[in-house]
Amino acid sequence: MKDYPGKILEINLSTGSISSRAVEIDLIEKYLGGIGFNARILYDEIPAGTEPLSEENVLVFAAGTLVGTPFPTASRTEASAKSPLTSQFGTSNSGAFFGIQLKTAGYDALVVKGKSLTPVYVAISDEEVQILDAAFLWGKECWATVDILEKKHYGAEIALIGPAGENLVRFASIENGRYDGWGRTGLGAVMGSKNLKAIAVKGTRGRKVHDSAALLEAVRKGQQLIKSASSYIAFTEYGTLNASIPYGKNKAISAHNFTLGTLPDWKEIGGRQIVDKYGSRHVACQSCIIACGHWTEIKEGKYAGLKIKDLEITPVMSFGATVGLNTEAIIKASEICQRYGVDMVSAGGVLGFAIELYKKGIITTEEVGFELDFGDDEAAFKLLHQVIDREGIGDILAEGTKRAAEQFANADRYAIHIKGMEIPMIDPRGRWSTWSLGMLTNIRGGDHLRCRNPVENLRFNDKDEEYMKERFGFKKPMYDRLDMPEDLKSQAIDLESDTVDIAVMSKWAEDLINLYNSVGICIRPPVMEKVGPTIIAEACRAFIGVDISAADLMKSSERTWNLIKLFNLREGEKVDASKFPRRFYEEDIDGNILNEEKIQAVLEKYYLVRGWDGRTGKPDSNTLVRLNLVDDLG
C-alpha cells in the first residue's frame, strides 16, 4: 500500500490546537505501531528531566498495527507517558474496544500535549475532534462518567480517569470503559495533571486492507494455532486464574506483603474454582477467541448485587494475597479500583505496605485513624479511599510505596517495589524463572507483564543454584512447534537437560511481548505459546502491504525495546537499580531466599545477549548500528 491510511492525531490542551499527520510507511516499517510509536514519539518529544506531572509531559495512545482486524486478540492499545511513579518510561496496555474505535476513526495514535486550565474532555468522531468542558464530570467516579458520556456520544468508547487521577495519585490508572484500564505506571495522574477527564472516540470509517483475502487467511490460521495451544481450553474456562494455585503451592505468592509465601486457605480464596462460584459468562475483548474475562456477580452477603467484568489473577493476588482479603472483598476491591481509577497492583502493594508498617508499629492508629490488619476488608477500603482522596495518611501513601517509605523511619524494608513500581503478585523466592528475571529487566519497573517464557510449565519448580536455568518441562513436539529461529531456539532451550536458558529466553520473550504490544495482540499464554513472528508477519504483510519478514518484526521490536531503554537511561536510570527489594535477599520463606550476586551474574549474561554494556546498562554501539538506531537518536 503506497499511502497508509492511518494518521497520528495531536491535541495540544494548552493552546487548544488540533492537528493530524499521516503515518509514514517508514515509521511503520521501523516501529510497527502500538508501543513502537509511543517509544518513538516520547523519545522525540519529552525533553530529559521533564517533571511527569507538568505541562511538558506527553501522553500517547497508540492502537496496535493489527487492531481493527479479526486477527485473534488484536484489540490492544498502548498508552505511554513519562511515569509519575517511576519517573521513567511509563506505559500500559489495554484491550477491549477503544483501539478499534480509534483506528476506525482514522487514527493509529493519539498524542496529548500541554495542559488545560480547566477540566476538559476530548470527543473524537472521525475528523471531528473537539475539546469540551468537563467541569460537570470532574470529581465523578468512572462508571457514572461513562454512563453520561455514553449517552452524550452514542457508540463511543471512552478512556477516562477517576477521582484518583484527578487527585494526582501517583499510581492512578486510566480506565478503558467501565471494566478495563491502562493500570500501571500512574498514567491516570498524567491525564489528571493535564486536566483531561476523558477521551471519547467513535470511528465510523471502514478500513481498507492491502490484501483482504490474505489477511482472512492469516486470521484463520491464527485462530487454529491458538485453539491448538495446550493451555487454550483452560484459559477459555478460567482465564489467568489458572496460575493462581501453582504459585500458591510453590509458596510464591505475595501473601501479606511478601512475608508468607502462601496462605492456608489460598485455594478457596484465589483458586480458579472461584470462577465457577462467582463468574457466569465469558466476556471477550475485540477479536479475541479466548475470552478469558468473566462476568462476575455476587449474589448474597455484604457485597450482594456487585457486578463487574473479570475475575483476574492480578486483583486476586494484589488484594487476596498481598492484603489478605477474602474472595468477595477482592471483587469489591476491583470495583473500587475501576470506579475510582487506581492501578490494582500498586493499590494492593500500597495497602499491604501500610498494613505491615502498622503491624510493625511504624505507623500508629492515631496516624491512620483506625486499626489496620491483613484480611480486614473494611479498614483496607477505608484506607484505599483515603489514598484516592489524598486524605490524612492517604496523602503520603498516594505517592507510592517508594516515596511513602521515605516519610517514615525504617520503612524502606517494607516497600516492595523495583524502580519505584510496586511488584505484582509473584514472589521470585518461591519460584525462579524467566518471569522473575523479567521483573528486573522490565523497562517499566517492577512488573510481570513484559517478559515471560512463552512455553512455561507451571507444574515444575526446579531450583537451579546458579539461577541460570529453569525447567523446560515439555516434550519435543512443543519444542518443534515453537515459532523461534532454530539457532536461537537451540541456545534458549536444551532438550537434553530439559532446561531453558533464562538470560537468552528473557531477551526473546521481551522482544516477543514487545512485538505483541506493537501489533496490538494479547499476551495470554495460549497466544504466547503459538503465535510467533511468522504468522504475525503474514498478517502484517496482508494488512499494510509492506514486505516484512518475521526477522524484521523481531528487529523492530528489539529496536523499540532499546529505544525505551535509552529513554530510561536519559532519565537517569542506574544499572544498580535493577534489583529486588532487600527483603528478597535477606528474609527467607521456608528456606527460600535469593542470592544477589548470582542473580547479578544472570543479569550480566542478559546484558551480553542484549548487546548492552554490563557496567552501564547502555546498548553498545554495535547494537545501535545493528538496529539502525543511530540516526534516530538525533
Partner 1 sequence: MKRIVINTEACDGCGICQLVCSAYKAGQWHPALSRIKIKPLQEFGLNLPVVCMHCTYPPCEIFCVMNLIYKEPDTAYTLRHEEICIGCRACEIACPFSAAVWDPINEVVVNCDLCGGNPECVNYCPTGALVFMDISEAADKKRREAAGVQILELSRGFLE
Partner 2 sequence: MRVIIIGNGAAGNQAAASIRKHSSECEIVMFARESFLEYSACALPDVLAGWIPLDKTFLKTSIDYERLQIKTCFAQEVNNIDINKQCLQAGNEKYYWDRLIIATGSQPIIPAIDGSQLQGNFVVKTPQDIERIIEHKPSRAVVVGAGNIGVETAGALRNRGCMVYLIEMQDRIMPLLYDQKPADIIQTMLEQEDIRVFTGERVTGIEGEPGVERLFTDQQEIECDTVIWAAGVRQNVELARQAGLKIGGLGGIEVDKYMQCSEPGVFACGDCVQSPHVFTGKPSLSLLWSSAKRQADVAAANCMEQVDEYEGNCSVVIEEIRGIPCVAIGLNLHGLVGYETEVIENESKDFYYRLLAVDDRIAGFQCIGSLEGAGAIFTMIKKGTTLEQARKVLHNKDSITNMAWYLDSSRYLR
* Residues lying near partner 1 in the complex (CB under 8 A): 68-70, 72, 97, 100, 104, 178, 203-209, 212, 215-216, 219-220, 223, 227, 280-289, 291, 293, 295, 297, 307, 309
493-494 and 307-309 strand pairing: unpaired
Q: Which does 203 bind (CB under 5 to 8 A by kind): partner 1, partner 2, none?
A: partner 1
Q: Which is nearer to partner 2, 2 or 154 (CB)?
A: 154
For residue 174, the SS3 value is: strand
Q: Which is nearer to partner 1, 71 or 467 (CB)?
A: 71
Q: Which does 151 bind (CB under 5 to 8 A by kind): partner 1, partner 2, none?
A: partner 2
Q: Which residue has the cell 457508540?
A: 155
Q: Which does 154 bind (CB under 5 to 8 A by kind): partner 1, partner 2, none?
A: partner 2
* Least Cβ distance, residue 291 to partner 2 (angstroms): 18
Cell numbers describing residue 467: 539461577
Q: Which does 152 bind (CB under 5 to 8 A by kind): partner 2, partner 1, none?
A: partner 2
Residues that bind partner 2 (CB under 8 A): 151-152, 154
Q: Which is nearer to partner 2, 152 or 205 (CB)?
A: 152
In sequence order, what DSSP letters do the residues of 361-372 get, joined into one string?
A: TSS-HHHHSS--
Q: Which is nearer to partner 1, 176 or 457 (CB)?
A: 176
Q: Which is nearer to partner 1, 97 or 408 (CB)?
A: 97
Cell numbers describing residue 443: 523497562
Q: Which does 368 bind (CB under 5 to 8 A by kind): partner 2, partner 1, none?
A: none
Q: Which is nearer to partner 1, 72 or 114 (CB)?
A: 72
* Least Cβ distance, residue 88 to partner 1 (angstroms): 34
For residue 93, the SS3 value is: strand
Question: Whole-angstrom Cα distance, residue 543 to residue 348?
Answer: 41
Query: Does residue 124 contact residue 109 with C-beta atoms inside 8 Å?
Result: no
Q: Which does 94 bind (CB under 5 to 8 A by kind): partner 1, partner 2, none?
A: none
According to DSSP, the residues that pair with 107 across neighbouring strands are 7
Q: Count the neighbouring beta carbons within 10 Å of the beta carbon of residue 424.
A: 26
* Least Cβ distance, residue 14 to partner 1 (angstroms): 33
**CA dihedral for 402, 405, 407, 409, sign (positive or negative):** negative
Q: Which does 227 bind (CB under 5 to 8 A by kind): partner 1, partner 2, none?
A: partner 1
* Least Cβ distance, residue 509 to partner 1 (angstroms): 26
Question: Whole-angstrom Cα distance, residue 116 to residue 128?
Answer: 19
Q: Which does 205 bind (CB under 5 to 8 A by kind): partner 1, partner 2, none?
A: partner 1
Q: How far is CA 147 from CA 137, 152, 176, 340, 469, in A?
A: 11, 9, 13, 14, 50
Q: Which is nearer to partner 2, 152 or 463 (CB)?
A: 152
* Least Cβ distance, residue 630 to partner 1 (angstroms): 37
Query: Does residue 53 contact residue 44 with C-beta atoms inside 8 Å?
Result: no
Question: Whole-angstrom Cα distance, residue 487 to residue 92?
Answer: 32
Q: Which is nearer to partner 2, 152 or 574 (CB)?
A: 152
For residue 130, the SS3 value is: strand
Nearest CA among 254, 588, 573 for reference residue 422: 254
Q: Which does 459 bind (CB under 5 to 8 A by kind): partner 2, partner 1, none?
A: none
Q: Which is nearer to partner 2, 298 or 536 (CB)?
A: 298
Task: Determine the Cα angle at 540 with ends 444 and 18, to 5°.
Answer: 65
Q: Which does 309 bind (CB under 5 to 8 A by kind): partner 1, partner 2, none?
A: partner 1
Question: Whole-angstrom Cα distance, residue 570 to residue 46?
Answer: 11
* Least Cβ distance, residue 151 to partner 1 (angstroms): 13
Q: Which is nearer to partner 1, 126 or 412 (CB)?
A: 126
Q: Looking at the chain, how many residues does it have?
A: 634
* Least Cβ distance, residue 23 to partner 1 (angstroms): 17
Q: Which does 475 bind (CB under 5 to 8 A by kind): partner 1, partner 2, none?
A: none
196-202 and 120-125 strand pairing: parallel
Residue 316 DSSP label: I
Residue 117 DSSP label: S
* Least Cβ distance, residue 6 to partner 1 (angstroms): 13
Q: How far is CA 572 from CA 419, 566, 618, in A?
A: 11, 10, 11
Q: Which is nearer to partner 1, 7 or 559 (CB)?
A: 7
Question: Whole-angstrom Cα distance, residue 353 to residue 380?
Answer: 11
* Least Cβ distance, residue 241 to partner 2 (angstroms): 25
Helix (H) or strand (E) holding 281: strand 279-283
* Least Cβ distance, residue 104 to partner 1 (angstroms): 5
* Least Cβ distance, residue 283 to partner 2 (angstroms): 15
Question: Whole-angstrom Cα distance, residue 130 to residue 145?
Answer: 18
